[in-house]
Amino acid sequence: MSFDPNADAAEVEVLDGAPRWSYGNLAEKFARVQILVTWYGGDPDRYLDAIEQGMEDRGDAEFVLDVKRRLHDDPSLGNYMRRVVTEFASRFGSE
């Protein structure tokens, strides 16, 4: 393929990317659970530290704080989240 400077230019509409969590509440929560489990080892405090350092979206904080409270009330939730993420990855690939 080569560049032809004499070719007519096609008009292209450039759109801003969609916000990170624009795909629905369930997808948003699953993505955050996946981040919590795979990147932060299921540790909400590590995720919250990353938010504070600007490495994650500040909008994730409320969800992570809610998960932290729920883990305090029901520690088995951590194993459940890991199992769900692992099951999803095994069925749909982790790449």
Give pLDDT tens digits for 21-37. Answer: 555 788 889 999 999 99
Q: What does the alpha-carbon distance between residue 36 and residue 30 come to, in Å, rounded to a whole number?
A: 10
pLDDT at 9 over 70: no
Residue 75 in domain:
yes
**Could you give the number of structural domains in the chain?**
1
Residue 41 in domain:
yes
Query: What pLDDT is recorded for position 2?
Result: 54
Q: pLDDT of 42-93, one tens digit each?
A: 999 999 999 999 999 999 999 999 999 999 999 999 999 999 999 999 998 8
The model's pTM: 0.72
Residue 55 in domain:
yes
Q: Which domain holds residue 81?
A: 34-92
Band (15; pLDDT cuts 50, 70, 90): very low
Beta-carbon contacts of 56 under 8 Å, excluding residues fewer than 6 positions away, are: 35, 47, 50
User: What is the token pair recorded at 50?
Assistant: 């990353």
